Structure 1
Amino acid sequence: MKHELRLYCEKTKLADLRDFLITELSHSKLTDVLRNELVLAVEEVCANRIIHTHGCNPSSHLHVKVHQYDDRIIFEITDNGEPFDILDYKTPDLKEVIKDRQKNKAGGGVGILLVKRIMDAIEIETHPSWYMVRLIKQLNSK
């Protein structure tokens, strides 16, 4: 099974992404906790691309594909924005993030950490005209 969503780069469209992912994952035998974690990870990557890469420009869009197999689920997020190497991202010290939040009431800084903890593998592909993040979650075969 393979399904795709064209997601325009507006923060309000993240609700459409959640609905799409929940519908796609409802066909699998995932626990509610795992389903919610996967939605969170994909949403975090898409939100970063929408906000930081595309500046919430509604004329830009992402393509989100879901590939479900017996042993794994693969999410592919593709767009034509500037590459960002999530694999090379240095995760901030959580104590510092908490301290900064308490001082400045600022958010952010832990989304990529969550993605890395939730997913089993993250792959990046870059080409002159597009950029793709592939998130892979292995499923226990029991």
Structure 2
Amino acid sequence: MKSALRIACSRSHLQQVRDFVRTYLSHRQLPEVAVNQIVLAIDEVVANFIIHANGEDETQFLDLKLDFKEKELNVEIADHGNTIYLPGPHQTPNLRDYIQQGRKGGMGMTLVNRLMDKVEFFTRGNHTVCHLSKHLA
């Protein structure tokens, strides 16, 4: 079953995204911990698109599509902004260094990569797309 949501690029829409994903997943027989992990991963990617790719420009928008079939959740987040947002190759940051430096932020994509089975960023035309997938037993 597929479902889609379009939002303007504003942090004020993040709760709407979380509610949309949680509602979509509530119709499946999934453990609450799996639902929470998926909601967190999608929230992080959407927040990155809103903040880093679009500078919270509410004239820009994101499309979120969810598709669940045969125990596989596929998520597509498409950016329709004016810039291409392709995070560099995933590198696991040194947590001890982060703590010693008192850094905040920069761990989100590490978390997403741990929570989801597959994380891909690519371009489609002049838009950036993130594809996330997770196998759910």
What TM-score does the superposition give when structure 1 sets the normalisation length? Answer: 0.89
CA contact (8 A) 1:87 1:122 kept: no
Pair 1:120-2:134 in alignment: no
Note the C-alpha offset of 1:4. 0.5
Tell me what 2:12 maps to.
Answer: 12
Aligned partner (choices 126, 129, 136) of residue 133 of structure 2: 136
Deviates more, 1:29-38 or 1:91-100: 91-100
Question: How far, CA to CA, are the matches of 1:84 and 1:58 in structure 2?
Answer: 17
Question: How far, CA to CA, are the matches of 1:108 and 1:9 in structure 2?
Answer: 20
Tell me what 2:42 maps to.
Answer: 42
**What is the one-letter code of the residue matched to 1:132?**
V
* Number of equivalent positions: 136
SS of equivalent to 2:123: strand
CA contact (8 A) 2:91 2:110 kept: no
Runs of 4+ in 1 over 4 A off after TM superposition: none
Residue by residue over 1:75-124, the C-alpha shift from the partner in whole angstroms, topping out at 9 and shown as x without a partner, is: 100013433334613332111112222xxxx5201110110000001123
Question: How far, CA to CA, are the matches of 2:61 and 2:50 in structure 1?
Answer: 8
Note the C-alpha offset of 1:13. 0.7
Q: Unpaired runs of 5+ in structure 1?
A: none
Pair 1:108-2:121 in alignment: no
CA contact (8 A) 1:116 1:122 kept: yes
Deviates more, 1:84-93 or 1:128-137: 84-93
Question: How far, CA to CA, are the matches of 2:120 and 2:54 in structure 1?
Answer: 21
Q: Unpaired runs of 5+ in structure 2?
A: none
CA RMSD, aligned part only?
Answer: 1.5
